[in-house]
Structure 1
């Protein structure tokens, strides 16, 4: 090996576990280097053979340590024996004492590791009786994992049902978590409090997906009545996500307890909160003084109503969205609205109050935001740097619905002067992902249409634009629904020099262009023009490099191989 720890680590982390085991058998030097990486990740034990061997190792280590502790405690009435014991050399370290510090990763859901121990005990008990529980071995293992890192922790099922396991997880794993998800299903409020108070400053993200219930026995009575808790300890996340949260208790005391520990929250995501909107809004105003980013609604699939139209199950009504949008003391910098949130007049009026601070607006799925509202956002927000209305693969809706703008709305022409109305974000906008439809040079083809030249003029005003998407993400349909057929966007910009592409020569900061599923006329001359006028361009999405755009794609590969092409999804089947 290299005798350079940084290089050794890069090599070892790329090898499969079996390969690491083989390397450790080469010689003593390689054994010393590779052995810690055998222990590094415990998330891969899944076979019965692995579970049995893993459990057997933990069991023997537990018994050896227990026996050693008994030998190191001689009877006090025999001082000579005690002196003799102290003079002995220390016994050899157990495997876990020796290599426990090498263990860095465990499964996201600790229950899976406990299941491995449970399966191992069940097989070992056939050979000899075992008077130990999987929870005992689990705690013994974690006690030796002194360098454990927990980037993502998911607590559900047995981790929340067993008090013994809950204590173990709270003692050894929760304080190390960077991101934690608790749910799903009903959870007693005292258990949530106990887990959250054991968190440390490492916790950055917290997700709750649960129904709050009271204690099932007397276990939680004392914790429920304790009001003398220190607020600035335990979980203080910067990102708080509330999935499908509900409270079966009339007092709603847990949420008030949580809001007091949410003073550092900067980003809030709310999928659905049954009957808790006003409680949450009060918590946002009273305690979340750093909050300036919000995401409302969830990825929702459309269904057919009685008239045969697509309909959505709204998890948040217009008034709920409006209430939450009105509950920001700092002013929203980033707002994301998805299918499950209904965006009506009340929500719009709440959003308008944050136009001056708004920097990022994302609208995904079947929400009721139209082209005129998008135009109002673009024309009125002086700090806006991102507007996304295209499903770019982060979220998915069953009908691939994206909020679009008519070309006439996007151009925003002052008919009195026949010039473009100025927009507040012309210098600040850096990311624009929007479908501009009904671009037509043919008169009277569409209502609300506009010629290509005016659309180019509007785009040319975004002088600091870095990302421009005018078509769908090329991966969505082929990865999720390869059978879906989408009509080409033949009423979009042609993106050719003849249609006016040279009007965009001022977009010198442009790095990414997306034209997927558009009937463009991009040839090698257009690509040559782009490389000359857009020096930072590094990726083009949507060119058909194996079909009609093959010649242009080959030219780009020959002359500018540093620019990557992402083919259209419908050409990749």
Structure 2
């Protein structure tokens, strides 16, 4: 092992450690052998809880602490000068004693870390929480953060709003990328801190599946309105086990018209945005006979004839202003298959038709578009729509969801296969 470590660039520590036998002291010695070229360090450590009676005995004898030896390590802050990414993925969240001295030793050697990922939290005195103080003290170069994990793995260990806010307070330079996976809650406290980083923010990704704990329409619009460097915006579930996509971004919020003039407001990110993944919800679709869609919304009706198409026109107008878009995802498809007990996914009905009659032609200016997803959407894409797409989107490389989402999707698929076989047609 010691012969290999000096050449390692990406290292994952995956093991069980019992603090009472000094396992972490051995790990510390091995980590100290790592190459100065180490770029990414991942911890997947499981701490073994003690039986109550034995833990009390060890505590009485003073033997339940981490065993320490002489510190022969390299200078603090210089052991891993190339380390740019630190990942903490605890495999359990038991209330075991936490080796704070070990983690302090690790954090002091992360002075050049730029990216931090924390998957879940339970023990409020554990290393995942203590790192917020360490980030301020020892990680001055943090600019990218990822919090949370998929719902199945972290369903009982959410990262709460106040904890997310504390993490977001850990960047001195200003965040460039903030990614929140399922069970990382984003509410008022988090938003208040994030506002301080709007001038530097380039990536904002939200995969929080529970609408109760995710950002509101107001918060999402504030990001789009106020971040001039934003190039990636995702408000879409990336959750293996979810049955229903959220409807956080309602069509009225996404359109974002000035209430006085009726004109679409200008977003600060319009010239910079390249990746947009959203689920624009609650668009009336009188052409649909089904009344319940995947967001849980039922029976959205027009208030007057033609309102649905009118709303779609405004949504197209909004997207059309994002002239540098390369990736446009408007749909969601769960990963759950029919064989799963969790299966029950419906399609998104109250969405864009993506037909020329509904206003698709307004997107002719998206000349850089490479990727389109209509997965899980009840679109009306036919042959004439895909013919229009290849004419006006010369860089188009891949379409997700055309197979299952369109009333005339099969004919459109066959036409593309014959005339543009280089365009990939994928299910998602």
Please give the TM-score of this superposition, normalised by the length of structure 2.
0.81
Partner of 2:89: 243
Deviation of 1:281 after TM superposition, in Å, equals 1.6
Q: Structure 1 residue 378: deviation in Å?
A: 1.0
* 8 Å Cα contact 2:142-2:170 kept in structure 1: no
1:205 corresponds to 2:56? no
Moved over 6 A (4+): 212-219
Specify which structure has the higher proportion of helix. Answer: 1
- Alignment correspondent of 2:360: 501
**Aligned residue in 2 for 1:282:** 133
Give the structure 1 partner of residue 382 of structure 2. Answer: 523
Match status 1:178 vs 2:9: yes
| Secondary structure of the corresponding residue to residue 210 of structure 1 | strand
Counterpart CA distance in 2 for 1:363 and 1:221 is 41
TM-score (norm 1): 0.61
> Quick check: 2:24–2:66 contact (8 Å CA) kept in 1?
no
For residues 405-416 of structure 1, what are the structure 2 equivalents within 5 Å?
405-416=249-260
Number of aligned residues: 384
**Pairing 1:470–2:327 present:** no
Give the Cα separation in 2 of the matches to 1:314 and 1:375: 28
Tell me by how many angstroms 1:444 deviates. 2.8
1:387 CA displacement:
1.0
> Structure 1 pair 353/172, CA: closer, same or farther in 2 (3 Å)?
same
Q: 1:547 to 1:411 in 2, by over 3 A?
A: closer
* Residues 32 and 73 in structure 2, CA contact (< 8 A), matched pair in contact too: no
Deviation of the 1:540 alpha carbon: 0.9
Among 420, 436, 460, which residue is 2:280 paired with? 436
**Deviation of the 1:432 alpha carbon:** 0.6
- Is 1:295 matched up with 2:146? yes
Structure 1 residue aligned with 2:205: 362
What residue number does 1:352 align with?
195
Question: Partner residue of 1:534?
Answer: 393
Which of 261, 265, 270 is the equivalent residue of 1:421? 265
Deviation at 1:247, TM superposition (A): 9.3
5 Å-filtered alignment, 1:66-81, equals none
User: Aligned equivalents of 1:531 and 1:349: distance in 2?
Assistant: 43
C-alpha distance in structure 2 between counterparts of 1:212 and 1:552, whole Å: 54
Does structure 1 conserve the Cα–Cα contact (< 8 Å) formed by 2:347 and 2:378?
A: yes
Task: Name the residue aligned to 1:550.
Answer: 410
Q: Which residue is equivalent to 1:193?
A: 28
List per-residue Cα deviations over 1:102-127 (Å, max 9, x = no partner).
xxxxxxxxxxxxxxxxxxxxxxxxxx
After TM superposition, list the pairs within 5 Å mapping 1:196-275 onto structure 2: 196-210=31-45, 221-223=68-70, 226=71, 229-231=74-76, 232-234=78-80, 237-244=83-90, 252-273=100-121, 274=123, 275=125
Find out whether 1:373 has 2:219 as its counterpart: yes
Which stretches in structure 2 are left out of the alignment for 5+ residues?
49-57, 286-300
For 1:415-451, what per-residue CA distance to the aligned partner results, in whole angstroms no more than 9, with x for missing partners? Answer: 2101001111011110011100112376338xx9871
**2:358 maps to 1:460:** no
Specify which structure has the bigger relative contact order, considering alpha-carbon pairs within 8 angstroms and separated by 6 or more residues.
2
- Asked if the contact 2:241/2:336 (under 8 Å) is kept, the reply is no
Alpha-carbon distance in 2 for matches of 1:551, 1:322: 49
Cα distance in 2 for residues equivalent to 1:329 and 1:176: 31
Q: Distance in 1 between matches of 2:409 and 2:402?
A: 6
User: Rg bigger for which structure?
Assistant: 1
The Cα offsets for residues 296-346 of structure 1, whole Å up to 9 and x where unpaired, read as 11212399xxxxxxxx53432221111110111111111111222222211
Q: CA deviation at 1:523?
A: 1.2
**Which whole-Å CA distance do the structure 1 matches of 2:206 and 2:65 have between them?**
47
Residues 249, 218 of structure 1: CA spacing in aligned structure 2 closer, same or farther, 3 A cutoff?
closer
Q: 1:428-477 CA deviation, whole Å, 9 max, x = no partner?
A: 110011100112376338xx98710100000000000000011114x723
Measure, in 1, the Cα distance between the counterparts of 2:99 and 2:157: 27
Alpha-carbon distance between aligned partners in 2 of 1:436 and 1:247, rounded to the nearest angstrom: 42
- Structure 1: runs of 5+ lacking an equivalent: 1-168, 304-311
CA distance 1:421–1:239, shift in 2 (3 Å): same
